[in-house]
């Protein structure tokens, strides 16, 4: 058991391990040693089918955590140790301090407490988006490629790479990829000429928001999908995940006007999120029927852009 091997290497005192049931991609564990509590996250084996940006994506987390901790008041766990050299086990892993709270998906809050939570979430995401850079896209890696000088080029690269991943399922055809890429190029004028990128989490859903029983956010976790880009793609992911109700929008503040170009971008951003499940359901969950449903829904949504 990799978790046992890692903890034996790290801890001099006795320890116990308990699997965290909410982990979907990584294997995650609570670790108890003495009076201290930790979280150990272990990346999936290299044989696991992954989307292009998921390949060894844990490796960018220490730097993302550092940036967020130094520039915001967002509660993120402190990373205490990690190993990407495969010197302990043949998988990447990192160890963090356990922060209090439970995943929102595992709690039951009344409407007043939920409004409090989502208002605070809006404030936190606004703080995050105020962290800016001069390049766009996922942090550079062999699978994501170099960052880009402008947002449209970055998103186009992401779009093509995710379509390439979907082609591996055999559900989309090369003609589908050509048509969907052509559709994006046709609407290139709908994308803003941003002068700077914002840091985006890109995976804010109920399992990645930790809360106490009063609706206070105690942690925002799982930063491995972070990228530098247009805040509007974060809005789309939040909307897709059901984590941007009115209280969130109030906490976040001003949103861009929903003109025709905004709606075009919103559809592309929604498609980017929705289409990934074609690959995930087909190649990882081995559920071809559900994967094909995601594909049909995506192509129907794309029709609105023609």
Q: Is the pLDDT of residue 24 over 80?
A: no
Q: Average of pLDDT values for 209-220?
A: 97
Encoding tokens for residue 251?
């906490």
Judged on CB neighbours under 10 Å (0-12, 13-18, 19+), 89 is middle
> What b/e string do you get for 208-241 counting C-beta neighbours within 10 Å, with b at 16 or more?
bbbbeeebebebbbbbbbbbbbbbbbbbbbbbeb
Whether the Cβ atoms of residue 129 and residue 150 lie closer than 8 Å to each other: no
Checking if the pLDDT of 284 tops 80, the result is yes
- CATH number of the domain enclosing 114: 3.90.1200.10
Count of beta carbons in the 10 Å neighbourhood of residue 251: 20
Average pLDDT over residues 87-115: 95
The number of C-alpha atoms within 13 Å of 172 and in the hemisphere containing its C-beta is 26
Q: Would you state the pLDDT for residue 283?
A: 95
Q: Which residue has the higher pLDDT, 22 or 151?
A: 151
Q: What is the mean pLDDT of residues 94-121?
A: 96
Point out the domain boundary residue: 61, 77, 98: 98
Closest CA to 83 of 99, 72, 96, 94: 94
Residue labelled with tokens 């942690």: 219
> Measured between alpha carbons, how far is 201 from 133 in angstroms, rounded to an integer?
14
Q: Which residues pair with 83 in a beta bridge?
A: 93
> Are both 137 and 191 inside the same structural domain?
yes
Using pLDDT thresholds of 50, 70 and 90, give the confidence band for residue 176: very high
Domain closes at, from 53, 71, 98 = 98
- Look at residues 56, 34, 53 and name the one whose alpha carbon lies nearest to residue 45: 56
Residues 77, 41 within the same domain: yes
Backbone angles phi, psi at 300, to 5 degrees: -65, -45
Buried b / exposed e across 144-165, counting CB within 10 Å, b at 16+?
A: beebbebbbebbbbbbebbbeb
What pairing do the DSSP bridges indicate for beta strands 132-133 and 93-97? Answer: unpaired
Q: How far apart are CA 156 and CA 147, in angstroms?
A: 12
Range with top average pLDDT, 13-22, 29-38, 68-77? 68-77
pLDDT at residue 258, as a whole number: 81
Are 135 and 8 in a shared domain? no
Token pair listed for 282: 């087909």
Does 181 share its domain with 252? yes
Q: Is the pLDDT of residue 219 over 80?
A: yes
Q: For residue 92, is pLDDT > 90?
A: yes
- Among the three residues 56, 79, 98, which one is the final residue of a domain in this structure? 98
Distance set, CA 235 to CA 72, 93, 122, 129, 211 (Å): 19, 30, 10, 11, 21
116 vs 23, more confident: 116
Asked if 179 and 221 sit in the same domain, the reply is yes
Q: Which domain holds residue 176?
A: 103-303
Distance CA 229, CA 137 (A): 6
Is 118 in the same domain as 32? no
Q: State mean pLDDT over 55-65.
A: 96
Residue 25 and residue 122 share a domain = no
pLDDT of residue 12: 78
Contact (CB, 8 A) for 100 and 212 = yes
pLDDT value, residue 288: 97
User: What percentage of residues in the chain have a pLDDT greater than 90?
Assistant: 92
Residue 30 sits in the same domain as residue 137:
no
| Whether residue 143 is found in the same domain as residue 70 | no
pLDDT band at 13 (very low <50, low <70, confident <90, very high): confident
Tally of structural domains, the chain: 2
- What does the angle CA 222 – CA 285 – CA 144 come to, to the nearest 5 degrees? 50
């Amino acid at each position: 058991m990799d978790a046992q091997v890692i903890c034996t290497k790290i801890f001099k005192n006795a320890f116990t391990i308990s699997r965290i049931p909410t982990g979907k991609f990584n294997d995650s564990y609570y670790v108890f040693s003495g009076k201290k509590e930790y979280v150990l996250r272990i990346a999936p084996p290299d044989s696991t089918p992954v989307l292009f940006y998921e390949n060894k994506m844990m490796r960018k987390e220490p730097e993302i955590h550092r940036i967020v901790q130094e520039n915001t008041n967002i509660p993120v766990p402190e990373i205490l140790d990690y190993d990407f050299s495969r010197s302990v086990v043949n998988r990447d892993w990192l160890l963090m301090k356990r922060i209090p709270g439970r995943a929102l998906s595992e709690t039951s809050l009344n409407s007043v407490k939920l409004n409090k939570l989502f208002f605070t979430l809006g404030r936190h995401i606004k703080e995050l988006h105020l962290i800016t850079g001069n390049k766009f896209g996922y942090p550079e890696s062999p699978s994501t490629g170099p960052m880009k000088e402008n947002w449209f080029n970055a998103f186009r690269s992401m779009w093509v790479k995710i379509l390439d991943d979907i082609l591996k399922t055999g559900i989309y055809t090369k003609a589908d990829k050509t048509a969907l890429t052509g559709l994006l190029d046709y609407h290139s004028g709908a994308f803003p000429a941003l002068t700077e990128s914002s840091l985006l989490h890109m995976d804010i859903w109920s399992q990645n928001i930790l809360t106490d029983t009063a609706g206070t956010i105690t942690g925002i976790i799982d930063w491995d999908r972070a990228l530098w880009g247009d805040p509007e793609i974060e809005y789309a992911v939040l909307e897709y995940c059901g984590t941007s109700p009115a209280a969130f929008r109030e906490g976040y503040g001003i949103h861009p006007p929903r003109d025709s170009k905004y709606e075009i971008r919103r559809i592309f951003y929604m498609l980017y999120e929705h289409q990934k499940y074609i690959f995930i359901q087909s190649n990882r969950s081995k559920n071809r029927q559900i994967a094909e449903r995601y594909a049909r829904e995506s192509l129907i949504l794309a029709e609105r852009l023609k």
